[in-house]
A and B are shown apart, each in its own frame.
Chain A
Amino acid sequence: MSPIRITLAVLAMLAMHAAWAAESGMALKADAIRAEPFGDAKTVATLSAGDKVEILKKDGGWLQVKSAKGSGWVRMLSIRKGEARKGSGDAAGLLGLASGRAGTGKVVATTGIRGLNEEELKSAKFNAAELKLAESFATSRPEAQKFAAQGKLAARKFDYLPAPE
């Protein structure tokens, strides 16, 4: 096997792993599993908070899941996707913490990009040139309208949501 082949094989395995990991989930709260992705569809089973599910498909705000309790459709917001912890292999993040960045605010991560902590924000000095640059990118309302039209985005009415309870 050539090194390239091996690399490809490893990459393929990693990709499979990632795909598999992305398909598991956990119920954040008790909710109904329904026969179809509609609020008034028949309830097939009921998930309890903490129940593990396998996610098969997504449709709008609904996820098709398989679980020990039964299979069907659950509202996406009732499910916390994945168990794998993303970013746990991220050297910059872990390094930042391990090297006590939270204390001194002076540690540079391996990427050369610093994180932002309270100390850095507190001691930040006004940067007029950078602010001017930021303001130079401003988009006017008509420009935004044009940009939306290019993406076939149409404005529509929708009321604000009341706080739950």
Chain B
Amino acid sequence: MMRSMKWLCLVVLALGCGAASGLDFEQELKKALKEGVQQKSAAPSGGAQGGNLLSGLGGTSQEEEIAIGRQIAGNLLGASPLVKDKRLQKYVNNVGRWVASQSERPELPWHFGVIESSDVNAFAAPGGYIFLTRGLYRLLANEAELAGVLAHEVGHVIRQHHLKILQQSRLVDLGGKLIAKQVGDNNAVQKLIGSGAEVVARSLDKSAEFEADRIAVVLSTRAGYDAFAFPEVLQQIGHFAKDDGNVALLFKTHPHPDDRLEKLGQAMGGRFDAVKGQALEKRFYRLKP
């Protein structure tokens, strides 16, 4: 009995050592990240609640999360600028913020935008930066459909899907290098996110997409919109030919719309039968041709 207790103590001790050195690494990593954040001090403050939103290596504070997302958003806009239509951009922010207000992170500094691209796609960056393309906007028939698309992206942000990818790959890879070089240079954030806005083109786990689809219909419903507007958008996207260049990236990084509809149908079942929502077709802001 005594003997086994001793062994147990030894094991616990060894585990403790491992955890301690892990903690040091984490601290170093956080320091490097923080320096990056300070250099980009133009980033809007995310408030004091910060804290570790994620467990695991290099937990990221809300402030850091926003700084990372801001860098990615700036890069994405470098590839595709905003559609130059102020009323459109304001409208999309109104709808997006209302939908995001129904989530558990209503106080993030949410930003939404429509970017110039004939591609059919939408992108989310950590901290609440969300963009959809002109090509996708053109497919939408009413405000509820727009709300659904934005709510899907809000889902990625609140569940930190992209941030987790960064933490799992880049952060760990580059973290070592950053520490080795004692970096405090102004490109620290950029280094963490890889090249340009690459991370938004990264495929998420299929289950993350299905999860964002489920969140999309729920947030739409909470916001008072028709829950079936978002599946309608999936229907529309499903009509594109597989070899159509405008959906190449979307189809590469997402499960096929048919699979998404099927999974979403299973999850929704009859739960929305008694729920009526609005489509707001009249208020929907239509793009100038």
Contacts and interface: CB of A to CB of B under 8 A. Distances in A.
Q: Do A and B come from one complex?
A: yes
Interface of A: 28-29, 38-39, 60-61, 75-78, 80-82, 84-88, 90, 92-98, 101-102, 109, 111, 113-118, 120-128, 130-131, 133-135, 137-141, 143-145, 147-148, 151-165
B94 A123 contact: no
Contacts of A130: 74, 77-78, 81-82
Interface stretch (B21-29, B97-105, B170-178): B97-105
Contacts of B134: 113
Contacts of A165: 266
B97 A140 contact: yes
Contacts of A39: 269-270, 273
Given A61-B268, A164-B266, A90 B244 contact: yes
B196 A123 contact: yes
Nearest to B73: A131
A29 B259 CA distance: 10
Given A80-B235, A93-B245, A121-B201, A111 B78 contact: no
Contacts of A94: 243-245
A61 B272 contact: yes
A80 B260 CA distance: 11
Which 8 A-B pairs have CB atoms at the shortest separation, nearest pair first?
Answer: A77-B265, A96-B245, A153-B224, A124-B196, A97-B245, A124-B79, A164-B266, A86-B239
Given A86-B236, A134-B111, A161-B217, A115 B119 contact: yes
B224 A148 contact: yes
Contacts of B190: 126
B267 A164 contact: yes
B262 A153 contact: no
A85 B248 contact: no
B286 interface: no
A154 B75 CA distance: 36
15 contacts: A80-B258, A82-B239, A88-B244, A97-B243, A114-B80, A116-B80, A122-B197, A123-B79, A124-B75, A126-B190, A128-B74, A139-B94, A141-B106, A155-B224, A158-B218
A94 B133 CA distance: 18
B101 A121 contact: no
B204 interface: no
Nearest to B89: A137
Contact of A28 (B73, B76, B80, B262): B262
Q: Could you tell me the dominant secondary structure of chain B's interface residues?
A: helix
A155 B75 contact: no
Contacts of A163: 207, 210-211, 214, 267
B196 A125 contact: yes
Nearest to B106: A141
B48 interface: no
A145 B223 CA distance: 10
A28 B231 CA distance: 13
Contacts of A113: 116-118, 134
Interface stretch (B1-9, B160-168, B274-282): B274-282
A113 B136 CA distance: 13
A109 B271 CA distance: 44
A155 B249 contact: no
B118 A126 contact: no
A140 B194 CA distance: 31
Contacts of B218: 158-161
A134 B236 contact: no
B133 to A, nearest CB: 7
A59 to B, nearest CB: 10
Contacts of A101: 245
Nearest to B96: A139
Given A116-B117, A151-B280, A163-B214, A156 B224 contact: yes
